Amino acid sequence: MVEAIRPRIYELEVDVRAGRIDISFEKKYDSIAVREKVTVFNRWPEDNRGQGFILEPGLLLHRKWQGFTKKEKAEFVSLSEKGLIDKKASLEFKKIQIAESIKDLKAGLRQSFRHIPRQLNYLKMDAEGKEIIKGEAVFLTDLVEKADRISLVFSRPEKFGLKAIERAIGRITPLRQRLERVKNAYKKEVTQHWGLAQQLARQGKRAQAALEMSKAKVKLAQHRTKIAAQVDASLELGEKRMELYKMGGEVFTWAYNGLKGLIIRAQRAKSIKDSGRNPSQKEILSMGEEGIKIRQRLKTTSACLFNPFYERVESDEVRSLEKVLEHAQAGEVDTMFNLFNNAQAKLEALVLGEIPTEEEIGELEKARL
């Protein structure tokens, strides 16, 4: 069972207390960080895949509600209110809090701003611009419009006549078929109302049939309201994730520019050394201290607990900045120069972009000529 092995929030509490899972800024950013590798085993061993569910540092975790599995439903029905609270579960809604795992902040942004809103609200198009799948809200709007035309005929039979009524009755069948293929509580109720409306209309009880059509419309409208709330929640979550992503981008830019300055200074010290003179020890130590500051700020910035920032901050190239002061104390300016260069190169893709800009390419062309 796929959903059974998704980590439940209550299963992570030991790791939270141990500091392996960080929820310190969840309230502000609605995001949970993994500081150390964690393996989560579901309480039912037969539902675990291999060695359990592994959470690696850099992942973005998000607390959300998910329906009970069959085993949870059977066990939780006998739990006390406190027991349910401990499990972060709701018997009323038959849901439990889980930790959704997302590979990085970029994927989280795509989910919040693209995938969820489009799934609920928009038409999906193929390469030729033809409609292939309707988002849930668009699907409901289409059904409501078709059902309204049928309801209008039942409400004013004297205007439309018997033939129009017969056609309207027949048009309910394809509407019901479109919903019956999907398992969902609200859709089941809607098809029941439509089926009863069809039956009543055939018996000549058109006013009652129109009433049943109206009841179905109310159910559809309620679900559309729910969809709107889901989209709003997704966009709000996206704004929080964007704030984190911008924070990471800003600190990376600051670090990149700081390293750029250190590279220039280290190159200058190298030139002095290569000329047979001794570079200023005070200047060398100053470079080492600034390298340490850059490393520390990268490590302590919240956004850098998540990929794509985390994997670069914890790369060998950037972690090597932790030793730059030792090299400075030993007067090893060549090594310092290489450390600064390698660390800056590791940050470059997120600061300048994955692909070189036209301006960069133009500068290279000039240099070549």
pLDDT of residue 364: 57
How much is the pTM? 0.81
pLDDT of residue 2: 39
pLDDT of residue 3: 42
| pLDDT band per the 50, 70, 90 thresholds, residue 126 | low
List pLDDT tens digits, range 193-240: 999 999 999 998 989 999 999 999 999 888 888 888 888 899 999 999
Least trusted range by pLDDT, from 7-11, 284-288, 356-360: 356-360
**Residue 47 confidence (pLDDT) above 70:** no
pLDDT of residue 355: 62
pLDDT of residue 368: 60
Least trusted range by pLDDT, from 93-97, 180-184, 198-202, 299-303: 180-184
| Long-range residue pairs from 342-349, CB within 8 A, at least 24 positions apart, any chain | 342/317, 343/259, 343/294, 343/317, 343/318, 344/256, 344/259, 344/260, 344/263, 345/317, 346/312, 346/315, 346/317, 346/318, 347/252, 347/255, 347/256, 347/259, 347/312, 347/318, 348/256
pLDDT of residue 128: 67
What is the rounded CA–CA span in Å between residue 46 and residue 3?
A: 13
What is the mean pLDDT of the segment spanning 87-92? 90
pLDDT of residue 134: 64
pLDDT of residue 4: 43
Least trusted range by pLDDT, from 191-195, 239-243, 283-287: 191-195
What is the mean pLDDT of the segment spanning 314-318? 97
